[in-house]
Amino acid sequence: MKTRLSLCETSRWLLHCRTGFESECAEEAIAARARGGCAAFARTQRGDALVVIVSADGTDLGPAPPWRELIFSRQSLVLLSSFEALDPKDRLSPVVDALAVAGLRVVDLWVEAPDSDAGTELRALARALEAAAVPTLRKRTLIDPASPVRAHLVLRSGTHLHLALADVRDAAPWHMGIPRLKFPKDAPSRSTLKLDEAFLVLLDDSERARLLRPGMTAVDLGAAPGGWTWQFVARSIHVTAIDNGPMDAKLMDSGLVEHRREDGFRYRPRQRVDWVVCDMVEQPVRVAALMGEWLAGGHARAAVFNLKLPMKKRWLEVRRCLDGLDDALEGRWSLRAKQLYHDREEITVAAVPR
């Protein structure tokens, strides 16, 4: 019985994404495989919040990309089997049998529904199946705490599901790749969750400890009313908030915020700061160029910013912005980008010094 899985032995991937961004998720994944010399195509429908990537000629696609590497995919899985006409009285036996036939032991099994309208109606069933499945796997000795492989059952309906596999070392550590963050009661806007998630997803543990220390300095461009500023203040980091609009009174009472009513595209600090963050509603290429000027010009050590995407050719626009920024920074910063759960028609980018 195998406890490790050669994730190269597959001709299909299963990707979770945001509803309405299935096309961008597919384009990005297909482009990733093309760079590796493997042709692929996608099976998906708008609104599914799922994308299946299929090898064009049946050859191995290779391992599913690490979840941090794809912008529009929240979770990247190897698709092992699909079941389209399950008996509602016994949905688990075929799945357990498939794992046994594959000779796999898994560290855990998650049952998920896509983050879509149809998936919302399946959440209760997903919880019930997960509660029943794990004890069943233990009885069949298919659970091994040392295994790097996690099984995922992704529901398409009450009788249709996918059995997929994740290498836990490269997979998102949350169901569907969605971290469940609690909205801080004192934060002035829900946009605070975007920056909270960005720090969690785009930085690793050592980077958060090193780059978000009390006493550091930050500039928040387009700050009002202070959702992103709040994340720094909560970490005892001093913030210069740039916005012509009013800031939250409690934030100003913290003594850690200086509010300057200036143009976010014109302002520059007198001394270099540790962070610049930006959530201004503006053309993405213009925001990317602004962040390049801040970093290459020595005004900030690191950055997090949002790129508001157009309605069409969004993947091409993302590549244009990131490629241009990488050229401007001459590879001195590591660029990480993700469409976060708390994003909407946008992606979030972090630029961290190498």
Containing structural domain, residue 17: 12-177
Q: Bridge partners of 240? A: 219, 258
For residue 6, the model assigns a pLDDT of 47
Same domain, 172 and 220: no
Angle CA 155–158–163, to nearest 5: 35
- Same domain for 168 and 21? yes
Strand, coil or helix: what is 40? strand
Do the domain assignments include residue 183?
no
Flag whether 49 is in a domain.
yes
Domain total of the chain = 2
Supply the pLDDT for residue 8. Answer: 41
Phi and psi, residue 337, nearest 5°: -130, 145
pTM of structure:
0.93
154, 177, 174, 155: which is closest to 165 by C-alpha? 154
Look at phi and psi of residue 222 and say left if phi exceeds 0, alpha if psi is from -120 to 50, else beta.
left
Q: How many CA atoms lie within 13 A of 136 on its CB side?
A: 17
We report the CATH number of the domain holding residue 139 as 3.30.2130.30
- For helices 92-102 and 123-139, the axis angle rounded to 10 degrees is 50
Indicate whether 4 belongs to any domain.
no
State the pLDDT at residue 9: 54
Going from the C-alpha of 294 to that of each of 305, 308, 325, the distances in angstroms are: 12, 19, 11
Q: Which of 193, 131, 129 is nearest to 163 (CA)?
A: 129
Residue 3 pLDDT: 43
Alpha-carbon gap, residue 197 to 58, rounded angstroms: 37
Residue 273 burial by CB count (10 A; 0-12/13-18/19+): exposed, middle or buried? Answer: buried
Is 6 domain-assigned? no
Contact 21, 73 (CB under 8 A): no
Q: Which residue stretches of the chain have pLDDT < 50?
A: 1-8
> Is the domain of 57 the same as that of 196?
no
Point out the residues that are catalytic.
308
Residue 220 lies in a domain: yes
Establish if 314 belongs to a structural domain.
yes
